[in-house]
Amino acid sequence: MRFEYSPAPESRAIVTLRDSYGLFIGGSFVPGSSVFKTISPASEEVLAEVTHAGPEDVDRAVAAARQAYERTWSAMPGRERGKYLFRIARLIQERSRELAVLETIDNGKPIRESRDVDVPLAAAHFFYHAGWADKLGYAGFGPSPRPLGVVGQVIPWNFPLLMLAWKVAPALACGNTVVLKPAETTPLTALLFAEICQQADLPPGVVNIVTGDGATGQALVAHPGIDKIAFTGSTEVGKEIARACAVSGKRLTLELGGKAANVVFDDAPVDQAVEGIVNGIFFNQGHVCCAGSRLLVQESVYDDVLAALRRRMGTLRLGDPLDKNTDVGAINSRAQLDKISELVSSGEAEGASRWSAPCPLPDRGFWFAPTVFTEVSQAHRIAREEIFGPVLSVLTFRTPAEAVEKANNTPYGLSAGVWTEKGSLILWMASRLRAGVVWANTFNRFDPSSPFGGYKESGFGREGGRHGLEAYLDVTGSADV
């Protein structure tokens, strides 16, 4: 049965966009060397002009962060730092609708997701790390672990505010100051976060935000005044950053790409598994590093699972991201749409069979219908490369051992999913899957207390939980680590 939905748009009125935004350095918005425009990927409308930070602007931001580190933040008792983090967390909650609408406008993701996932999780990360700020001596890193200093943080466009929270909250809780570079296509919630820092009376220079493109990121990574780089983004850029940081003495954590296997056994409840498959690959248009982009189905239930999956995909509603009924929003940029289209064409050319949900695409903006490929071989590019879009590749297996072999046959190792009724099989699989996170009978669950990170080309270091603190502390010499 098909349900008809009337439009249910969330109002944009809560967001006041400025015509142009400066850089956030030393607690104030300041001009920089040049400007660029940020657009809405759903309509291609220009939203605002944003400042491009050149090397001299990055230099100013690092100097402000150093001064704040030395004069205020590193010397402040943890319980005082914690108060600021609690205040920021509460302000994120208070301004949650504004943040959600702005995130949806700038990123293209459905309002249902920014409202129910991105913003609440961002607040949760600040609450969680606020609690740690005065308890670092009990975290198992020795009695008085020291901060590292000034941290340079570079984040991608898929979860702009949430990735900021993953980076900024632990860094500040541990006594570091930060210079953060948001992605070029999604700078607006980071700039609203800068206003929240002002509202929270955060000492000037503790958080600095430099907008710009890859060159701004490069300048930040190369800056000699930085003690640690925390990067989330593609494996390709991660490798470049690892080379740039080599023998510089800078600490480095890398959260990179993925090509997760979502493994469905023949005893899994089909409808529940299909919901998990859909959430695993179509949540956030598949712009998710841990997306379940390779579906491994046990051969005996292949026909049932595929039929139920196509049926469910046919009910997904694609369109206006601000509509509260929308399931699939816009692709974040034309460049990303081109990348998805190129990989999908390669799948067809290499002989896989494509099926896309029959949903009309809007005339303006960047869109891609939810798509599934069957008859996929492990050698196909769509089975090996991260597509970072709403495209699922389906493979089959007969035995658990074959499922493990195929799941691990990837240069990545960020996440995996297992669907079965048998607890013993879940544990057997989890101990063999080379992935930082293994979800059982669920997918894409996040919690600030749970460490997240990868193996192999998915990077190193963990974010969240006690493990995530270690990345922002000097734990050398600690016997407890």
Among 174, 197, 245, 289, which one carries the catalytic annotation?
289
Query: Rule CB under 6 A: is residue 388 a binding residue for ligand TAP?
Result: yes
**Options 72, 74, 198, 234; binder of ligand TAP; rule CB under 6 A:** 234
Residue (of 213, 347, 232) closest to 289 by Cα position: 232
- Residue 217 Cβ vs ligand TAP, minimum distance, rounded to whole Å: 2
Residue 32, CB half-sphere, CA atoms under 13 Å: how many? 29
Q: Which stretch binds ligand TAP (CB under 6 A): 92-100, 236-244, 358-366, 377-385?
A: 236-244
Joined tokens for residue 123: 């607040």
State the Rg of the chain over Cα: 22
Shorter beta-carbon distance to ligand TAP: residue 43 or 234: 234
Task: Find the binder of ligand TAP among 27, 233, 276, 321 (CB under 6 A).
Answer: 233
Judge whether 72 and 84 are in contact, CB under 8 Å.
no
Q: H helices within 208-354, ranges in order?
A: 214-222, 235-245, 270-282, 302-313, 334-349
Shortest distance (Å) from residue 237 CB to ligand TAP? 3
Say if CB 204 and CB 27 are below 8 A apart: yes
240 contacts ligand TAP (rule: CB under 6 A): yes
Q: Which is nearer to ligand TAP, 83 or 381 (CB)?
A: 381
Stretch (H or E) spanning 122: helix 119-132
**269-287 burial by CB neighbour count: b if 16+ within 10 A, else e?**
ebeebbebbbbbbbbbbbb
The interface region with ligand TAP, picked from 1-9, 26-34, 109-117, 150-158 by CB under 6 A, is 150-158
Smallest gap from residue 1 Cβ to ligand TAP (A) = 36
Which of residues 65, 164, 188, 241 is near ligand TAP by CB under 6 A?
Answer: 241
Q: Is 255 a catalytic residue?
A: yes
- Of the ranges 91-99, 122-130, 210-218, 264-272, which one interacts with ligand TAP (CB under 6 A)? 210-218
Q: Choose, by CB under 6 A, the member of 147, 160, 170, 217 that binds ligand TAP.
A: 217
Instruction: Please tell me whether residue 468 binds ligand TAP under the rule CB under 6 A.
Output: no
According to CB under 6 A, which one of 218, 262, 279, 298 is a site residue for ligand TAP?
218
Kindly write out the interface string for residues 179-208 of this chain, putting x where it contacts ligand TAP by CB under 6 A and - elsewhere. --x-xx------------------------
Is there binding between residue 372 and ligand TAP (CB under 6 A)?
no
* Subset of residues 288 to 327 that bind ligand TAP, contact rule: CB under 6 A: 289
Q: Which one, of 256, 88, 245, 243, lies nearest residue 151 by Cα?
A: 245
Q: Which of 91, 102, 221, 226 binds ligand TAP (CB under 6 A)?
A: 221
**Residues 182, 23: Cα–Cα separation, whole Å:** 11
Q: Are strands 146-147 and 473-474 parallel, antiparallel or unpaired?
A: antiparallel
3-state secondary structure of 26: coil
- Contact present, 460 and 255 (Cβ < 8 Å): no
Bridge partners, residue 244, by sequence: none
Catalytic residue among 184, 255, 386, 470: 255
For residue 471, state whether it binds ligand TAP (rule: CB under 6 A).
Answer: no
Cα–Cα distance measured from residue 459 to residue 476, given in angstroms and rounded to the nearest whole number: 21
Count, residues near ligand TAP per rule CB under 6 A: 29
List the one residue from 213, 266, 385, 402 that touches ligand TAP (CB under 6 A): 213
Cβ-based neighbour number of residue 433 at 10 Å: 23
Give the span between the Cα atoms of 373 and 381, in whole angstroms: 12
Catalytic residue ranges? 255, 289
Chain positions contacting ligand TAP, by CB under 6 A:
154-158, 181, 183-184, 213-214, 217-218, 221, 232-234, 237, 240-241, 255-258, 289, 386, 388, 414, 454, 459
